[in-house]
């Protein structure tokens, strides 16, 4: 909405004049002014706002009582004080109440350093308790197969209950008991099995809900984070990958209003963490005298430039998990050596929708860049191509984990570029170590044609390099100029080789993505 229209209203927050659209709450108006109003129960992605935590109370000029800013609509001429003595004292009282039975176990809590209760207790100087009564102990429970609930830490903001009810459309959770004995539980006879249940951990403002596979693994100060794209399906959910000691330890959704909002599915979380597994290729290998021999990059590429067949029949298998830049480079290589046919394989699974946010859907095609592969002429294949004796076989990205152990053994030349070894890949004439998407910068194209960037989160093993870098260097040795050294330059080359991507540039795509021929998404929140 255009704030210069008659629908705009003007108010003052802590002496700062703010203009917001009609219908904006006071808390949202404060955010626009850069003023942080403490809150627990409010979450911008959950439509219901019970105003039950009372942390967001503010003073309104002309009104005798403090008001909850999360549900109070801003009105024209309103004057608001968020840091008055009265408002601060009210928040101190709320924090004191919440800490009465809290175990104060910050040193072992997985939310330490990212806990809103911890932050506000520090800000309000709640360093000692006036209560000398024994704390009520409620203990720990398993609220789902992979989610633990620490009732002693729970502040009953009900974000988890309301997410399941209002966003997931699954009334699986409730508040059991009353008063100081209240806790979160599943409805009697109902299990928390929703495909999007992991989001209740993300929305928890304290450490009450924890993914079991993250328990005691890391603290916020131990982890580095990189913005990325979930590879679990073709939806292209924006995520942040948290890394400790070069291992993915946690995945959280990253806000994008056009793709996944604040949410992601559990399939994507598990898929990303599984990226830590497997036997990696870390050195180039070429076959000499029947045996694979480790060599350095310069030797491997020079040898390939001389020995890779040029012409004749052949087949190519690519991966819809590879970056767009890499798929463009594969197409350029195939054209050079005269291989016309090439395809990708993907697995398919069940679909799941998030009723409260229809843009987000766990899609059947379990690959992030099938649309990107299609841009460069690669179609979906039901299986692996049959390779006759003497033919050329180029496999890029596909691990061939399900291929017969002798697959490709009869090929005249078998080039494998990938990240993991399998029985079939050991038949290759040359093996080049490639990074996974988590070890490089690049782009994916989702089911809707949206081009989105992802960033390197992990250090690749050995001398593994992005596929686009390997192939562009190989092509350069064949006389096609110098290959790009950065992802943005590789993207520019790919754009020049695809009419569908024409006009895009790396900076325009940004972290929110863009639909070719359309407009970029709104700025990040």
C-alpha atoms less than 13 angstroms from C-alpha of 150 in its C-beta half-sphere = 23
How far is residue 179's CA from residue 182's CA, in Å, rounded to a whole number? 6
Q: How many CA atoms lie within 13 A of 476 on its CB side?
A: 13
Q: Mean pLDDT for the chain?
A: 92
Per-residue model confidence (pLDDT) at position 153: 95
Tell me the C-alpha distance between 161 and 183, whole Å: 11
Are 381 and 345 a contacting pair, CB within 8 Å?
yes
Mean pLDDT of 418-437: 96
Check if the beta carbon of residue 95 is closer than 8 Å to that of residue 126: yes
Three-class SS of residue 294? strand
> Distances in Å between the alpha carbon of 359 and those of 237, 256, 363, 370?
10, 10, 11, 19
Confidence of residue 521 (pLDDT cuts 50, 70, 90): very low
Q: How would residue 189 be classed by pLDDT, with cut points 50, 70 and 90?
A: confident
Question: What's the mean pLDDT in 156-174?
Answer: 96
Q: Which residue has the tokens 């053994």?
A: 409
pLDDT of residue 504: 96
Handedness of CA 130, 136, 137, 141 (dihedral sign): negative
Which of 381, 304, 393, 305 shows the shortest CA–CA distance to 344?
Answer: 381
- Per-residue pLDDT reduced to its tens digit, 221-266: 999 999 999 999 999 999 999 999 999 999 999 999 999 999 999 9
> Averaged over 421-441, what is the pLDDT?
96
pLDDT at position 159 over 90: yes
Q: Three-state SS across 365-408?
A: ECCCCHHHHHHCCCEECCCCCCCCCCCEEEEECCCCCCCCCCCC
6: confidence class by pLDDT, cuts 50, 70, 90: low
For the segment 82-99, what is each residue's pLDDT rounded down to a tens digit?
999 999 999 999 999 999
- Residue 162 reports pLDDT greater than 50: yes
Q: What domains appear along the chain, each with residue ranges and CATH number?
A: 8-96 (3.10.20.740), 104-116+130-222 (3.30.70.20), 285-509 (3.40.50.740)
pTM across the whole model: 0.91
Q: How far apart are CA 442 and CA 105, in angstroms?
A: 41
3-state secondary structure 28-85: HHHHHCCCCCCCCCCCCCCCCCCCCCCCCEEEECCCCCCEECCCCECCCCCEEECCCH
CA distance 300 to 315: 22
Is residue 210 helix, strand or coil?
A: strand
Tokens of 214: 């993250």
Local confidence band at 276 (pLDDT 50, 70, 90 cut-offs)? low
Question: Do residues 441 and 418 touch, judged by C-beta distance below 8 A?
Answer: no
Residues 464-501 have pLDDT tens digits of 999 999 999 999 997 766 789 999 999 999 999 999 99
Number of other residues whose CB lies within 10 A of the CB of residue 411: 22
Q: Is pLDDT of 139 > 90?
A: no
Per-residue confidence at 520, pLDDT binned at 50, 70, 90? very low
Q: Per-residue pLDDT averaged across 190-205, rounded? A: 96
Q: What pLDDT sits at residue 129?
A: 76
Look up tokens 């009372």; give the residue: 54
Which residues have C-beta within 8 Å of that of residue 335, sequence separation ≥ 6?
A: none
Residues with Cβ within 8 Å of 488's Cβ and at least 6 positions away in sequence, in order, are: 441, 506, 507
Counting Cα atoms < 13 Å in the Cβ hemisphere of 23 gives: 5
Reduce the DSSP state of residue 474 to 3 states and report it.
helix
Averaged pLDDT for residues 292-308:
96
Give strand pairing partners of 235.
none
Question: What's the whole-number mean pLDDT along residues 124-128?
Answer: 76
Burial class of residue 135 in the structure, from the number of CB atoms within 10 Å of its CB (0-12 exposed, 13-18 middle, 19+ buried): middle
């Amino acid at each position: 909405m255009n704030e210069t229209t008659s629908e705009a209203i003007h108010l003052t927050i802590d002496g700062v004049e703010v203009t917001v659209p009609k219908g904006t709450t006071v808390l949202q108006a404060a955010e626009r002014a850069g003023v942080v109003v403490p809150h627990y129960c409010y979450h911008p992605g959950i439509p219901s706002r019970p105003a039950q935590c009372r942390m967001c109370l503010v003073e309104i000029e002309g009104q005798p009582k403090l008001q909850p800013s999360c549900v109070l609509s801003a009105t024209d001429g309103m004057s608001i004080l968020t840091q008055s003595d009265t408002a601060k004292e009210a928040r101190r009282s709320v924090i004191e109440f919440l800490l009465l039975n809290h175990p104060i176990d910050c040193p072992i809590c997985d939310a330490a350093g990212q806990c809103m209760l911890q932050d506000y207790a520090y800000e309000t100087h709640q360093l000692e308790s006036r209560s000398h009564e024994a704390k009520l102990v409620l203990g720990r429970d398993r609220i789902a197969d992979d989610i633990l609930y620490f009732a002693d830490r729970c502040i009953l903001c009900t974000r988890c209950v309301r997410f399941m009810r209002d966003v997931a459309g699954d009334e699986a959770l409730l508040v059991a008991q009353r008063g100081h004995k209240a806790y979160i539980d599943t409805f009697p006879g109902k299990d928390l099995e929703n495909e999007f249940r992991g989001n209740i951990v993300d929305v928890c403002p304290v450490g009450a809900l924890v993914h079991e596979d993250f328990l005691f693994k890391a603290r916020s100060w131990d982890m580095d984070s990189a913005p990325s794209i979930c590879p679990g399906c073709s939806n292209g959910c924006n995520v942040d990958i948290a890394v400790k000691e070069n291992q993915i330890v946690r995945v959280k959704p990253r806000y994008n209003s056009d793709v996944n909002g604040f949410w992601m599915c559990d399939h994507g979380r598990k898929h990303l963490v599984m990226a830590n597994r497997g036997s990696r290729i870390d050195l180039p290998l070429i076959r000499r005298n029947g045996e694979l021999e480790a060599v350095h990059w310069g030797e491997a590429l020079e040898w390939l430039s001389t020995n890779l067949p040029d012409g004749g029949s052949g087949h190519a298998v690519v991966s819809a998990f590879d970056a767009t830049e890499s798929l463009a480079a594969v197409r350029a290589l195939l054209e050079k050596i005269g291989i016309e046919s090439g395809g990708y394989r993907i697995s398919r699974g069940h679909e799941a929708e998030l009723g409260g946010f229809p843009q987000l859907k766990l899609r059947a095609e379990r690959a992030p860049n099938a649309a990107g592969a299609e841009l460069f002429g690669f179609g979906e294949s039901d299986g692996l191509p049959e390779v006759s004796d003497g033919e050329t076989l180029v496999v890029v990205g596909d691990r061939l984990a399900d291929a017969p152990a002798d697959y490709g053994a009869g090929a005249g030349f078998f080039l494998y570029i990938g990240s993991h070894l399998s029985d079939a890949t050991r038949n290759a004439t040359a093996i080049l170590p490639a990074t996974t998407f988590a070890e490089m910068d690049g782009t994916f194209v989702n089911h809707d044609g949206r081009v989105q960037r992802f960033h390197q989160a992990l250090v690749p093993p050995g001398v593994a390099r992005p596929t686009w870098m390997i192939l562009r260097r190989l092509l350069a040795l064949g006389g096609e100029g110098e290959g790009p050294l950065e992802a943005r330059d590789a993207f520019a080359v790919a754009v020049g080789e695809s009419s569908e991507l024409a006009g895009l540039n790396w900076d325009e795509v940004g972290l929110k993505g863009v639909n070719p021929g359309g407009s970029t998404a709104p700025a990040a929140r």
